[in-house]
Structure 1
Amino acid sequence: MKTTNVRLSLPLSAPRWWARMEKLLGALYQLYEREPARPAAPLPDTWHLQNRQVIRLNKASNASRLHVRRGAVWLTRTPADADVILRAGDKLDLEHGWPIIVQALQDSCVDLVH
């Protein structure tokens, strides 16, 4: 039986490949460390509410918007002008009617944006 040595050639040798990867990672780190082009939006306070859990928002909380990320919540304001039910994806501006009572109708995740 005749044996043949077969040699596979790769486009880049391992040291050259690592050198290119290091260059690419260096460029990514530089992008990460740059200052943002515009000021970042304020980060929301995230509340994870269990079914039927109630929270009370006072004007002192400085919340300007409520955003339901998951679940559903019932919301009422003072004076009671109307009850509101918000589902996942809904947003509500909090301009008046303090205090605001929020109750989870199921396990929910709510962002309060300041």
Structure 2
Amino acid sequence: MSMLPTISEAEYEVMKIIWSNEPISTNEVVDKLLESSSWTPKTIQTLLSRLVKKGVLDYTKNSRIFVYTSLIKQEDYVEKESKSFLNKFYNGAINSMLVNFIESNKLTNDEIHELKKMLDERLDKGGK
């Protein structure tokens, strides 16, 4: 994974729309974000421009329509942010994070059972 730029929470919301729908036009991005946010179309266009400048998005221009595609994979970005979160708050130790979540009742019983199921499946596959 190469160096990935840092993006803001607002930019990440735009990226989630793009990752789910790419290639996608400016108007389509705006329409989808207007359903879930109170941002103006101008704000959304500004966020798209920032993401292009950061090297996260690319676009092609078809007539007067801009069509966006991502230059980074969602999985790569989420992995980078997860590692950053772990390092920042838990010195890179996932077990410390899990203990914190479990002991502070931030995980429901259903979430704990799902986590146990995932861990059991991982063990059945042989680790790593």
Q: Same fold (TM over 0.5)?
A: no
TM superposition score normalised by structure 1? 0.24
1 or 2, which has the higher strand percentage?
Answer: 1
TM superposition score normalised by structure 2? 0.23
Q: Which has the larger Rg?
A: 1
1 or 2, which has the higher helix percentage?
Answer: 2
